[in-house]
Amino acid sequence: MNSEFEMFDFFDHSPDLVCIADKDGYFKKVNPAVVAKLGYTEEELFSRPVKSFIYPGDLDITNQERAKLLKGEALHNFQNRYVSKQGDILWLEWTSLYFSDREIVFAIAKDITARKLAEIEIEEKYKRFKSLATHFKSRIEENRKYLGIELHEELAQLASVIKMDIDWINEHETGLHTNSKSRIEHALVVSEMLINAARRISFSISPNILDELGLNAALEWHCKEFSILNSIPCLFEAEYDETALTHEMKLDFFRICQESLMNVIYHAEAKKVIITIKEDGNTIYLSITDDGKGFDQHQLKASPGLHSMIERAASIQGQLKIESEMGKGTTITVIVAK
């Protein structure tokens, strides 16, 4: 059998792991790099099936890829873990070919342990930072919710009591001077405005409807409120499965819409706004489009509001895009994978 592999002797000096295995899954020839990396002698490597050297957690995926290989599908850059004789775990990246006429597998592997450990460390740091960011965001929303409740339950109710008292005086004190009567009527109007403002700010700070009825209901209500208060028609269109969104995604979508509509009020000079949420395969698209004056994207300034939208999109693994032209309005799009 060894004579069949003499043509591969030039691989003996390769720093990569080079080996030949038979169809039954046993090593038939290995270069010195295999012996050095795994710590086994050639006799030990040849006496046991290859799978016995593979890290147990990678056996299933390795068997699946090996089955494809034996059917003639070449293996490129396949990564799995091996366990050395000393118990060390090695990450190897394989490129393999199966020669059906000889029923042998020729494979070359690179030791990518250092790179893989660095990737894992970066991923773990990312998870920790994301968890921390999510925690801070949750705390902020909890504080917002508390403040919203205080505004609605305390301030708005107190203002309602004041309005009731003023209303009672207006109805029962018939001998009031004309100026006093006028001031009382003015106070009634202002107190009603105060109640509505408290309720509106409460919703803006913490939209309970989002938790109770969902994102679609919250955005529909917000669009109607925006239209009434600013005399700018705001339409909401939805063609997606809302249940596919996490609570965090719903909240960030809502906050991005809030910030975008604020920009419309203060900067766009728009006559119409359309908010749409659509899905295409595994991707969700949120778009806020206005027909306002637009701007030169090369002169776009990184405002706190823009930073907030970008950060919220990034926190849900999304991407925020802004498209605008002078005189042709602006479209803000958030693209997120489900």
Whether residue 166 contacts residue 185, with contact meaning beta carbons closer than 8 Å, is answered with no
- Give pLDDT, residue 1: 45
Residue 3 is predicted with a pLDDT of: 46
Helix (H, G, I), strand (E, B) or coil at 329: coil
pLDDT in tens, 27-49: 999 999 999 999 999 999 999 99
Cα three-residue angle 221-255-148, rounded to 5 degrees: 70
pLDDT at 178: 83
- Percent of the chain residues topping a pLDDT of 90: 52
pLDDT at 331 over 80: yes
Judge whether residue 93 has pLDDT over 60: yes
Show the tokens assigned to 137. Answer: 């965001």
Q: Tell me the average pLDDT across 10-16.
A: 77
Q: Looking at the DSSP assignment, which residues form a beta bridge with residue 81?
A: 91
Answer whether 96's CB lies under 8 Å from 74's CB. yes
For range 125-146, the mean pLDDT: 69
What is the arithmetic mean of pLDDT over 236-264? 91
Looking at residue 161, what is its pLDDT? 76
Find where tokens 């009567």 sit: 181
Residue 21 class from Cβ within 10 Å (0-12 exposed, 13-18 middle, 19+ buried)? buried
Q: Which of 322, 323, 319 shows the shortest CA–CA distance to 334? A: 319
* Cα–Cα distance, 74 to 69 (Å, whole number): 6
- State mean pLDDT over 261-273: 91
pTM: 0.52
**Mean pLDDT confidence for 74-82:** 95
CA distance readout (Å), 105 to 24, 30, 42: 10, 12, 17
Burial class (CB within 10 angstroms; exposed 0-12, middle 13-18, buried 19+) of 126: exposed
> Could you tell me if 148 and 208 are in contact, meaning their C-beta atoms sit under 8 angstroms apart?
yes
For residues 142-146, give the mean pLDDT. 64
pLDDT at 166 over 90: no
Is the pLDDT reported for residue 162 higher than 70?
yes
As a whole number of angstroms, the distance between CA 330 and CA 272 comes to 11
Sign of CA dihedral 18, 24, 25, 27: negative
Q: Which segments within the chain are labelled E, that is strand?
A: 17-22, 27-30, 75-83, 89-99, 104-111, 234-239, 273-280, 283-290, 318-324, 330-337
For residue 104, how far is the Cα from the chain centroid?
Answer: 45
Computed over every residue of the chain, the mean pLDDT equals: 86
pLDDT tens, residue by residue, 216-241: 999 998 899 889 878 999 999 999 99
Contacts 24+ apart (CB under 8 A), 194-201: 194/159, 195/156, 195/159, 195/160, 195/163, 198/151, 198/152, 198/155, 198/156, 198/159, 199/151, 199/152, 199/156, 200/225, 200/229, 201/151
Of 60, 56, 34, 58, nearest to 45 (Cα)?
34
DSSP summary character for residue 196: H
Question: Token match 């003023």: residue?
Answer: 166
Quote the percentage of the chain above a pLDDT of 70.
86
Q: Once rounded to an integer, what is the mean pLDDT over residues 266-271?
A: 90
CA distances from 81 to 40, 70, 100, 123, 238 (A): 16, 20, 26, 18, 46
5-19, 84-98, 162-176, 253-267: range with lowest mean pLDDT:
5-19
- Model confidence pLDDT, tens digit, residues 173-207: 877 788 888 888 888 888 877 767 766 666 666 66
User: Which residues 6+ apart lie within 8 Å of 314 measured at CB?
Assistant: 320
pLDDT the model gives residue 264: 93
